Amino acid sequence: MAPLTDTFGRVHRDLRIAVTDRCNFRCQYCMPVEGMKWMPREGLLTFEEIARIARLLVQRYDIDSIRLTGGEPTVRAHLPTLVRKLSALGVDLSMTTNAATLRLVAHDLHEAGLQRLNISLDSLRQDRFIELTRRDDLDRVLDGIDAALEVGFEPVKINVVLMRGINDDEIVDFARFGRDKGVTVRFIEFMPLDADEQWGPERVVPLAEVVERINDVFPIEAVPRTSAPATRYRYGDGAGEVGVIATVTEKFCDSCDRIRLTADGQFRNCLFAVTDYNLRDALRAGATDDELAEILEGAVSDKWAGHGIDTVHFIRPKRNMSQIGG
């Protein structure tokens, strides 16, 4: 077994798998107002194809963490079947979801071997939630969070994409929610992957500001950083922790260990990659594991030093977040 390493010496051990490009929200961050043209079902990787790629990465390259994403992964039929296949690999297995239908599947997913959940929620205010998602489903999302806690997911994390002038006035509200609910809130800097291409640096709420606002109300102290994307802080009174993923203002590309597989079988060496490596067609043409490994190794070798968001050379990916997978 050899690690999957790029030319900068970064070892990749975290695989993100998008199981669908579809969603039950029409969030402005992921999807344009007019909606999207979904890929046909036959274009999606089957569970068997996903499991084969995952198994190769785990057994040959020591990938030890897999996260299921979308679109919204819970809209994929029979999702617990895939979870069982992947949990058999013995990796840390998690999922990112908007939780709108989580109450219906939380028990089955947990029983199948899913260990952790990240729940996307950008507002605790009903009117704002409706504006952001174009759905009046905040109560269902909050109930989904309760369902996750009830069946035993640990930890449960809440991902909040902060947008200046949109929801940055809820920073302390979310911190309080996390403390009261016993979940870990992670604030994510707004990235140029929004479907309507309205991103600009002025819309980014930087880590330092988030930390200052929380610390003014709930004193926090920094936790030593790991290869995880979040800069973490623990509450001084022991009531859990909070995190900030500062992709834009304090990029962590030098420690990034993530690779991605899209719902249509394209391998991506970075969230902001502009090149896809087609594993689906190789699979369906009868590629051997060695041939698939050659594609994977070449793709990771081609990984850039960093995304370059803060430079004039930055190239925005052609796909938005729902098409790539979080």
**The whole model's pTM is what?**
0.90
- Kind of pairing between the strands at 184-189 and 241-245: parallel
State how far the alpha carbon of 201 is from the alpha carbons of 56, 194, 205, in Å: 39, 13, 9
Helical packing angle, 79-87 and 47-61, nearest 10° = 20
Q: How far apart are CA 235 and CA 222, in angstroms?
A: 9
Q: How far apart are CA 67 and CA 117, in angstroms?
A: 9
3-state SS, residue 201: helix
E strand intervals along 256-305? 258-261, 266-268, 277-278
How confident is the model at residue 307, as a pLDDT?
Answer: 59
How confident is the model at residue 312, as a pLDDT?
Answer: 44
Q: Return phi, psi of residue 221, to 5°.
A: -135, 145
Please list the residues that pair with 221 across neighbouring strands.
234
Tens of pLDDT, residue by residue over 122-175, are 999 999 999 999 899 999 999 999 999 999 999 999 999 999 999 999 999 999
- The per-residue DSSP string of 96-110 comes to EE--TTHHHHHHHHH
At a CB cut-off of 8 Å and minimum separation 6, what does 57 contact?
Answer: 4, 15, 63, 259, 296
Q: How far apart are CA 195 and CA 324, in angstroms?
A: 11
Domain 4-324: top CATH class: alpha beta
| Residue closest to 66 by CA, chosen among 48, 36, 88, 44 | 88
**Do residues 94 and 114 make contact, with C-beta atoms less than 8 angstroms apart?**
yes
How confident is the model at residue 32, as a pLDDT?
Answer: 57
3-state SS, residue 261: strand
**Do residues 128 and 138 make contact, with C-beta atoms less than 8 angstroms apart?**
no
> Assign residue 294 a region: left if phi > 0, alpha if psi is -120 to 50, beta otherwise?
alpha
Please list the residues that pair with 266 across neighbouring strands.
278
Write out residues in the chain with pLDDT < 50, as ranges.
Answer: 312
- The per-residue DSSP string of 109-143 comes to HHHHT--EEEEE---SSHHHHHHHHSS--HHHHHH
What residue segments make up the domains of the chain, in order of their start? 4-324
Can the peptide bond before residue 182 be classed as cis, meaning omega within 30 degrees of 0? no
| Residue closest to 12 by CA, chosen among 69, 68, 82, 60 | 60
